[in-house]
């Protein structure tokens, strides 16, 4: 099999944005034009308007509950109103994080790329803390059971609370919960009507045997015809837009709404059973805390994955799907590479992975080709922002760890990892 070669564009129609790639022998691939995105100057994006609507909805319900609680001298209403206020604070955090994400920072070189992850982390912590407090409250009610007072009023409160959260969840249905990227973060509210047309690709080949990716994130179709393999590069915006991933900030908001909705359902069931059904005294005293514990278990199982996901980002853990050993082995298989060390890979956000590595070389010749092959290895592992440090080695010192050590001895104790910890020596002869 011949090596895969990226064929540059040979012709372009000046009157059209469509681009044609050809190798002179096979039919061309027509690539639909992708218009540049216009920066949006709107006050709030679609996601932010939805968050703003949910915040207003919860604030209004908080004031109604608080006012009714003082009018009817109901501690339950006042307590639930402050619970609603706690959720509203979580929504405000999500809105602030969504706005800050688009801001430039003079002191943060990555701007606020992780602010939404921080928002999701804070919301998950808030939910888990709330669940823990409810568990303690349920245990106290089981140890010292009390009969539910005024179930009709509690039933009405539960129905109103469920209505508020259902409206919020309906609004979330129109929300874009896919991960943001710096490429499209300011255009969520105004999607181009021709976006679907921009992603249409016409491939005029009879057989497509393989789909690969080049160092710029393009897609390369390799056509097999008469035993010959030809590579044609196709630019596809947002091919990997994290279909399986979700915006952790908005995910935290959804979990808040889900937790409130489940709590309201528990209140409705408990109050309805106590008021309209002849039940034994056991249900009068224990149905509420037991049903609340069941609902809390659902909330915790939904919130813990978000908590661990945000924690991995903040701890700069390697991407979840990354095969670290395969990445190192792939780098070592490249000609002129004698060792690799100080490899670091971490996720900046949901769909941005960053990698750095020291690359030991037997020769600096053809560095650009070697660099392209190295970048292709990183791209195959979904790492598209990479910094490589080339180091030239003599034949007799392949085993040396780092050719660019710190000159001061105390400096070696302050580096991110000790020399040689992630060192790999290439086994084959050069």
Predicted pLDDT at 295: 82
Looking at every residue in the chain, the average pLDDT score rounds to 71
How far is residue 65's CA from residue 77's CA, in Å, rounded to a whole number? 6
- Which of 273, 312, 390, 366 has its CA nearest to residue 117? 312
How far is residue 154's CA from residue 272's CA, in Å, rounded to a whole number? 9
Q: Is the pLDDT of residue 265 over 70?
A: yes
Q: Is the pLDDT of residue 72 over 70?
A: no
CB 223 within 8 A of CB 207: yes
CB 328 within 8 A of CB 342: no
CATH: 3.30.70.1350, 3.40.50.1820, 3.40.50.360, 3.40.50.720. Which one for 324-425? 3.30.70.1350
Mean pLDDT confidence for 318-332: 90
How far is residue 400's CA from residue 379's CA, in Å, rounded to a whole number? 28
CA distances from 201 to 57, 196, 234 (A): 44, 10, 8
CB 246 within 8 A of CB 177: yes
CATH class of 46-183+244-314: mainly alpha
- Which of 286, 27, 318, 332 has its CA nearest to residue 143? 286
Q: If you search the block for the tokens 């399986």, which residue do you land on?
A: 244
Residues near 206 by beta carbon (within 8 Å), at least 6 away in sequence? 223, 225
Length of the chain in terms of residues written: 430
374-418: per-residue pLDDT in tens?
Answer: 999 999 999 999 999 998 877 665 555 566 666 677 776 666 655
DSSP-assigned letters across all residues of 113-155: TTHHHHHHHHHHHHHHHHHHHHHHHHHHHHHS--PPS-HHHHH
Q: Is 215 helix (H, G, I), strand (E, B) or coil?
A: coil
CB 48 within 8 A of CB 99: yes
pLDDT class for 248, splitting at 50, 70, 90?
confident
CB 253 within 8 A of CB 123: yes
114-133: per-residue pLDDT in tens?
Answer: 888 888 898 889 889 888 88
At residue 335, φ and ψ (nearest 5 deg) are: -60, 145
DSSP-assigned letters across all residues of 42-99: -SS-HHHHHHHHHHHHHHHHHHHHHHHHHHTT-HHHHHHHHHHHHHHHHHHHHHHHHH
Global pTM value = 0.65
Beta bridge partners of 202: 30
Domain boundaries, the chain: 46-183+244-314, 324-425
Predicted pLDDT at 370: 92
pLDDT class for 327, splitting at 50, 70, 90?
very high
């Amino acid at each position: 099999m011949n090596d895969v070669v990226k064929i540059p564009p040979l012709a372009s129609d000046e009157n059209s944005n469509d681009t044609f790639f050809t190798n002179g022998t096979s039919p061309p691939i027509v690539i639909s034009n992708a218009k540049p995105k216009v920066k949006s100057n709107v006050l709030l994006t679609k996601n932010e308007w939805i968050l703003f609507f949910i915040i207003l909805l919860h604030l209004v319900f908080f004031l109604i509950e608080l006012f009714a609680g003082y009018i009817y001298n109901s501690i339950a209403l006042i307590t639930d109103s402050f619970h609603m206020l706690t959720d509203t604070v979580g929504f405000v955090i999500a809105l602030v994080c969504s706005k800050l994400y688009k801001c430039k920072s003079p002191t943060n070189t990555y701007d606020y790329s992780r602010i939404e992850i921080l928002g999701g982390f804070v919301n998950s912590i808030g939910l888990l803390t709330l669940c823990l407090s409810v568990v303690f409250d349920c245990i106290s009610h089981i140890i010292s059971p009390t009969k539910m007072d005024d179930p009709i009023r509690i039933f009405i409160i539960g129905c109103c609370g469920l209505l508020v959260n259902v409206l919020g969840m309906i609004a979330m249905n129109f929300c874009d919960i896919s991960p943001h990227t710096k490429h499209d973060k300011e255009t969520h509210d105004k999607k181009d009507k021709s976006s679907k047309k921009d992603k249409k690709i016409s491939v005029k080949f009879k057989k497509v045997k393989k789909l690969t990716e080049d160092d710029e994130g393009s897609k390369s179709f390799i056509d097999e015809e008469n035993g010959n393999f030809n590579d044609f590069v196709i630019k596809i915006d947002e091919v990997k837009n994290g279909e399986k991933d979700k915006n952790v900030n908005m995910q935290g908001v959804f979990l808040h709404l889900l937790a409130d909705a489940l709590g309201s359902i528990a209140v409705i069931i408990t109050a309805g059973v106590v008021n309209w059904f002849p039940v034994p005294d056991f249900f009068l005293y224990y149905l509420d805390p037991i049903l609340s514990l069941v609902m809390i278990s659902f909330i915790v199982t939904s919130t813990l994955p978000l908590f661990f996901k945000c924690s991995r980002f903040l701890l700069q853990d390697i991407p979840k799907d990354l095969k670290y050993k395969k990445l190192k082995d792939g780098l070592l298989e490249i000609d002129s590479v004698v060792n690799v060390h100080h490899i670091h890979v971490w996720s900046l956000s949901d769909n941005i992975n960053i990698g750095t590595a020291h690359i030991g070389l037997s020769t600096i010749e053809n560095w650009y080709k070697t660099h392209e092959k190295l970048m292709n290895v990183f791209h195959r592992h979904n790492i598209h922002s990479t910094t490589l440090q080339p180091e030239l080695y003599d034949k007799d010192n392949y085993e040396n760890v780092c050719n660019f050590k710190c000159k001061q001895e105390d400096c070696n104790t302050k580096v991110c990892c000790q020399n040689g910890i992630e060192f790999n020596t290439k086994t084959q002869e050069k």
